[in-house]
Every structure is written in C-alpha cells, then in structure tokens.
Structure 1
Amino acid sequence: MNKRKICVVTGTRAEYGLLYWLMKEIEDDESFELQVAVTGMHLSPEFGLTYKMIEQDGFKIDEKIEMLLSSDTPVGIATSLGLGTIGFASAFERLKPDILVVLGDRFETMAAAQAAMIARIPIAHLYGGEVTEGAIDEAIRHSITKMAHYHFVSTDSYRRRVIQLGEHPDRVFNVGAIGLENICRMQLLTKTELEESIDFSLGEVNFLVTYHPVTLDRIGPKETMMELFAALDYFPDAKIIFTKPNSDTDGRIISQMIDEYVSKNPSRSIAFTSLGQLRYLSAIQHVDLVLGNSSSGIIEVPSFKKPTINLGNRQRGRLRTDSIIDCEEQRSSIINAIQLGISKEFQRKLQTFRSPYGEGDVSLKIIEILRKVDYKDSLMKSFFDLK
C-alpha cells in the first residue's frame, strides 16, 4: 500500500508546539508518510534557530524554506511573503505531497497555502473561522480558508463561520483546540524544575507577559509598551517572565523595549525569545496571571484556571471565557485589571469557568479524518450557499 504523503508546514516556535502531537501521530501511522517543511523564524538566528528543537524532538526536516528578512517593516514582511511563495513552490515540486497541513494565520502560512493552491495540492487548514479584529491575521486566516479544502476548527461557532464563508459542511470539522492537547499529554515542570530551567526564582506574586504588535494599529507599539511597563512597576514585588513577540511588523521594537526593561530590573524580570512549549505551559501553571494580547491567553490559559489580562484589540472577536479580563492599553486600566485578577474573590470564581475549546483530544480526531478523505477529489470546490 502506498503511503499518503502529508506535508506539515511550521514557521514559528509557538506553531510547532501546537503541531507537535499531530506530527507524532502522522509519523507513527503506517498509512502516512510525514514530510516536514520549516521556514520563517525557525531558520533565523535572531529568533533562536528553533529548527534545531524540531530535530532534537526526532523529526526529519525535509525542506528548509528561507524567507524571513531582517526587516519587520510592512515592505519587509510583504517581501518575505513573496520569497516564501517562491521557496514553497520549489519545495512542493520536490516533495510532491498528497496533502498539505497548515495551522493558523501568519504570513508564512499564507505563502505555503498560495504555492500549494497553484500546485494543485489539497490543503487541510487548522483553525479557520476565528476572529482577531486587531491584526492582519484576520484577513490572512479567512484567505487561507478559501484556499483550503478541509477545515479543522476549534468550536461550533467557528465551524458555522467557515461554512458562512462558503465551505461545504461535510469538509468542516470541529475537533477542539489543539493547544489544549499539550496540557493533557505533557508532564509539566514543577516550580523548582522551572526555576532551574530558566535560571530565575519566582516570588510570592508572578506574571507571565507576552505582547505582540497590533498590526492594524497605525500608532505603533512604543506608547503601549510604556503604559504596560508603568503598570508593571505599580507591582514592585511581582516577578515577571517576558516572552518576546514573533516576527510581525514592529516586533523588534517590542523586543528591544523588553530587553531595556529587564536590564533595568534584573532581579524581578527575565525575557526569552523562546521558552518552548514545555517551559511556557509550566510557567502558566506557576504564575498568578498571564498578561498581554496572545491567543494563548484566550485558549490555553483558562484551562489552568488562571486569569488572563487581555490588552487592547488584537484578540477582539475571539470566543472567550469569563476568566479573561479585557482592558485598555493604558496604565490605569491595566493596573485595575491586574488587581481584579489577583483578588481572592476572582480567584475563587476561576474554578467555575469552563473552556469552550474542547478537552484536548485533537490529533487522533484529525488523523481519523485524514485517513478517510479522498484527496484526489478534493480540489474541485463549489460555493456552499446558506439557505
């Protein structure tokens, strides 16, 4: 029996962390041949050359597609998108996959999807239908949905939205959020193990902070970061773990400002380009709250019964639980949100909140569907009209 060649694309550390278990299940399945194509931040020294982590996990990397420029300006990102499309076109010609698996809404994913669409390679897309009104990710995600042939979504409401975009219901599957799978399947670090791993001692109160550029905001991130730092200074006894942003527009500005803040506050703060999934999830387990505008604060953090302080508009529109406290990107609003999050009353309420994103048994559901679909009849799509 000929094995079906399934090519999985990853361009960032966070994305790979989400795809890890699915890649393992594909690799271990006798009916599949796993192909791994890495690109973007994985190949950048600035972001830690995280492709090495993929190899250390035992995966064979079949293609490395260089596309990331040193510039994070709009022109630089658009140029990277073009380079990525060219690189993926050549890679797919060599790999000849039966189906391409992509996740999310980043420009690296867009490049891979564009090349696959032209090459007549069926596309399976994880996590269409979601909404992030403050970022260009929104338009990229919906564009990939229209290029894709199979859709794995995380909630029923997102499934309805993909169908609303004209995708046939028979090709749209609610499998839950894949990010929760790591929480279920990983043996997380104890507090002592985490402290030893990151060479940083936690305190009585601890914050995990991740702030990404709001790519549809014309103002830029400097003012917001200053407001965020001022709010953090209002809690001088809190220990702070920063994780730096991805290679989005103006991401380097944020990284530089974080480095400057940590250099001025070395005893109470530390910053990482990449914690990796194990240390990141372990950190969530041992901090008092998560602060920033990352999707992980909306999807993964509530499963730990920890509060998320969600800044600004980047995640506006995404389905959320009551454990998420939205606030404006102003110091007074951030301070008030933190005070609410660490209050005893809110901490008690956390135990009653439930996540809308499933139970974490995602990869096996996707594998079962990938076994059954007829890839050869996938390319022809008709627009599904709502009645």
Structure 2
Amino acid sequence: MKKICVITGSRAEYGLFYPLLKLLSMERGVKLQIVATSMHMSQKFGLTYRAIEADGFKISAKIKFPLPDDCGTPVSIGRAIAAIAPVLEKLKPDVVVLLGDRFETFAAATAAYALKIPVAHLHGGEITAGVFDEAFRHSVTKMSSLHFTSTEEYRRRVIQLGESPGSVYNVGAIGLDNVRRAEFFSREELGAQLGVTLSENLACITFHPAMFEMAAPAAQLKELFKALDRFPDLQVVFTLPNADRGAAELIKAMHTYVKKNSARASAFTSLGQKRYLSLLNLSKIVIGNSSSGIIEAPSLETPTVNIGTRQEGRTRPASVIDCPAETNAIARAIKLGLSPFFAVKLRKPNPYGDGLTAPRIARILLRKAGRLGVKKSFFDLKYGKA
C-alpha cells in the first residue's frame, strides 16, 4: 500500500488539488492522507477544512498554527514547521504532495525534507517577483524529489536550478482540470447562493498584498478603488485576499468600499471552486493580482487586468493586460479589456495546458511513490542538456 500525503492550507488550494485527490482516492493500492492546515483551520477564513469533509474525503490530520497577520511571517513559518513535523512522523507517508509557493508550503517541505520524506511539488519553476513566495517556491523545488510544472518554460527553469531532467514533468496547470470538467452555476443560481443579484456587467476582483512593491498594499488598493469609481455601471465582486502579511488591512478596506457602494459591490471570504469558477465565467473582466487571472481566466475567455508586480515573471496568455498600481493606468486597462477590439485575443490558446493534468500527475505518482529518496545529485547544465 502506497501512502500519499497531500497537504493543503487554503480552500483555493484544495480546489486545485480536488481532481487529483479524487483520482488517488479511487486507487486500491493507495492510502490517501490529507492534512488540512493554515487558513483551513482559521475561523477568520471560514474553517474551510469542512469543505474537504463535505466532499467525502477523510482528513488524516488537522494542524492549527498562528498566521502571518497574527504574529509575523517568520514566527508563523517556525510554528508551522514545529506543528507539521510530528504529524508527518506519525503518518510516515511515502511521498508528500505540495502545491505552489506559500509560506505553509515552504514550512511543510522543510519539515518533510528534514524527516527524509520525499516531496512532490506542483507549480515549481514559476516567477512572481513581487512577493516573498518567489524564494519560497524555489526553496521548495530544492527540497523536492519530483516536480510537476505547468509549462515547458518552467520545466526548464526547475532543471536550471539543478534538478535532474528525469524528475521534472511538464504536465500543465492543474487548475485547468476544474475548468475543463466544470458545470457552472447560471447567473441566477450563483446570485441566489451569494445573496446578490448579478448583472451582465460584472467584474471579479481579487487583490492580495504584494510586499515588494514600492507602494504599500493599502495604497495600491486605494488606486484600484479610484479606478473602479470611473466605471459606475460595473458591478464588482471582491474575493477577499489570503492570509499573507498585510491582508487584514486590505480586507478592512474592501469591506469599507463595499459598504459605501452597496448598490453595486459585494465581498466574500471563500467561494469554493465551483462558485469561484462560475463567477469568473460570468464576469466581463477579472481585475487584481491573483494567479487565477493568468492561469484559469484565459480558458474561460475572460479578460484579465493584472495590477502591479505580484505576478511579474509568469508566462502571459494573450488575454492578460498588465498595468501599474496607478488609477489612470488601471482605468485604461479596464476600458481596453471591456472593448470589442480586445475580444479577439480571448480566443487564443492557453499556454498552461489542456485540463488533463491530474491524470498525468496521478500516473507518475503511482509509479514513483515508494521508490523516491531525498538524496539528489545537482544537475549541472555544463554536463548535459535539459
């Protein structure tokens, strides 16, 4: 029996993992271990571990620790490592599966590596120059034995970091599996679930702290608010930011904006995968600095206004409009994204794949689990080709 442990820290991340979890749960030779932690265990973020259980999965362990806005990122990482390590010692998985670049992902990789437990990492090799996550992601790559990248460019970058080409697989972005298989809510159905009437002129907005920007996150968000004020007929739905340092100030500002613009604005802490994708599908435009605007929205032919440097370095689909966090620039980008002229760019292929990522990952995990180790040789590009 192969023990595969998947660690998830947020409802959004769980939504990405869902198609892989479903496949692994149906394998007779696999004991699937799910560890819920970080935002899943926070009352402030909706105790979203319950969504995992509602989908019929058994959670092997629930781990709570203070989040960055409670105690600072360094302390949160240290507490997370200390909390995750004994759980992994008890579960003794053959491989730990992690996704992305957040602080809790880094903490889980550190704990697993120190315990000599192999790590399989999704979405390595990417660049997001505007946040701490950039360094966390590459650090997780170096602690991982198996790599699943979302594009060929990212596969080459993981190899550039010294990873053996035989351990690095370009499988596409797993979020597109959800888009491919989605049965979207209608405008009326989604509106009823959210308790709002959704118009045809709808914008989905997700704005996270970008700590390496010159301007403070709250100042950037104020620029976005002023740009939105120039589009009074645009209904805006905010999906609130994650647990990064500085998020609490942004959440407070969003709630204040919604209160002042209650006729056309609303905000939600956690929508879940189906409701979020339905919102993207129904929206005329996506605005903010979330990776979903770059990876998932293009497959739904929804234009994205990407603000600031948080996603700087990611491969850009044709449907993404980049702009600085400045009122006039944001307003120009929104106007362009809503124009009929821009619609032709929405039909171009998404460079992040075809929505068949989870089966590819599952096949490789089933073949490799139990045969992986943590000791690796550095692959030097001087001595071979990727």
Mapped pair 1:131 → 2:127: yes
Is the alpha carbon distance of 1:349 and 1:110 closer, same or farther for their aligned partners in structure 2, counting shifts above 3 Å?
Answer: closer
Q: Partner of 1:384 in structure 2?
A: 379
Is the contact made by 1:122 and 1:375 (CA closer than 8 Å) also made in structure 2? no
Structure 1 residue matching 2:44: 3-state secondary structure = helix
Q: Partner of 2:69 in structure 1?
A: 72
Q: Tell me, in whole angstroms, the C-alpha distance in 2 between the residues paired with 1:136 and 1:5.
A: 31
Q: Partner of 2:18 in structure 1?
A: 20
Structure 1 residue matching 2:205: 3-state secondary structure = strand
Displaced runs of 4 or more, over 4 A: none
Mapped pair 1:60 → 2:55: no
Mapped pair 1:284 → 2:268: no
Quote how far apart the aligned CAs of 1:72 are.
Answer: 1.3
| CA-to-aligned-CA distance 1:118-169 (integer Å, 9 cap, x gap) | 1110100001000000011110000000000000001100000000000000
Q: Tell me, in whole angstroms, the C-alpha distance in 2 between the residues paired with 1:270 and 1:259.
A: 8
Residue segments in structure 2 that go unaligned for 5+ positions in a row: none
Q: Partner of 2:209 in structure 1?
A: 213
Is the contact made by 1:163 and 1:172 (CA closer than 8 Å) also made in structure 2? yes
Quote how far apart the aligned CAs of 1:201 are.
Answer: 1.3
| CA-to-aligned-CA distance 1:2-60 (integer Å, 9 cap, x gap) | x1000000001111010011111111111111001011000000000000111101111
Q: Tell me, in whole angstroms, the C-alpha distance in 2 between the residues paired with 1:159 and 1:131.
A: 12
Q: Name the amino acid aligned to 2:80.
A: G
Is the contact made by 2:96 and 2:117 (CA closer than 8 Å) also made in structure 1? yes
Q: Name the amino acid aligned to 1:10.
A: T
Q: CA RMSD in A?
A: 1.2
Q: Tell me, in whole angstroms, the C-alpha distance in 2 between the residues paired with 1:377 and 1:328.
A: 44
Quote how far apart the aligned CAs of 1:110 are.
Answer: 0.8
Quote how far apart the aligned CAs of 1:215 are.
Answer: 2.0
| CA-to-aligned-CA distance 1:225-277 (integer Å, 9 cap, x gap) | 11110110101111110000000010001000000000111110110011111
Quote how far apart the aligned CAs of 1:181 are.
Answer: 0.4
Task: Quote the sequence identity (%).
Answer: 49
Superposed counterparts of 1:162-173, under 5 Å: 162-173=158-169
Q: Name the amino acid aligned to 2:142.
A: K
Q: Tell me, in whole angstroms, the C-alpha distance in 1 between the residues paired with 2:203 and 2:184.
A: 18
Q: Partner of 1:201 in structure 2?
A: 197
Q: Tell me, in whole angstroms, the C-alpha distance in 2 between the residues paired with 1:349 and 1:112.
A: 39
Q: Partner of 1:51 in structure 2?
A: 49
Q: Partner of 1:234 in structure 2?
A: 230
Q: Which moved more, 1:138-147 or 1:358-367?
A: 358-367
Q: Name the amino acid aligned to 2:373.
A: S
Is the contact made by 2:2 and 2:369 (CA closer than 8 Å) also made in structure 1? no
Is the contact made by 1:67 and 1:81 (CA closer than 8 Å) also made in structure 2? no
Q: Partner of 1:339 in structure 2?
A: 335
Q: Give the alignment's TM-score, normalised by structure 2.
A: 0.97
Aligned residue pair count? 382
Quote how far apart the aligned CAs of 1:377 are.
Answer: 4.5
Q: Give the alignment's TM-score, normalised by structure 1.
A: 0.97
Is the alpha carbon distance of 1:377 and 1:214 closer, same or farther for their aligned partners in structure 2, counting shifts above 3 Å?
Answer: closer
Q: Name the amino acid aligned to 1:375.
A: G
Q: Tell me, in whole angstroms, the C-alpha distance in 2 between the residues paired with 1:298 and 1:94.
A: 38
Structure 1 residue matching 2:381: 3-state secondary structure = coil
Q: Partner of 1:31 in structure 2?
A: 29
Is the contact made by 1:41 and 1:68 (CA closer than 8 Å) also made in structure 2? no
Q: Tell me, in whole angstroms, the C-alpha distance in 2 between the residues paired with 1:102 and 1:309.
A: 28
Q: Name the amino acid aligned to 1:364.
A: P
Quote how far apart the aligned CAs of 1:350 are.
Answer: 1.9
Q: Partner of 2:138 in structure 1?
A: 142
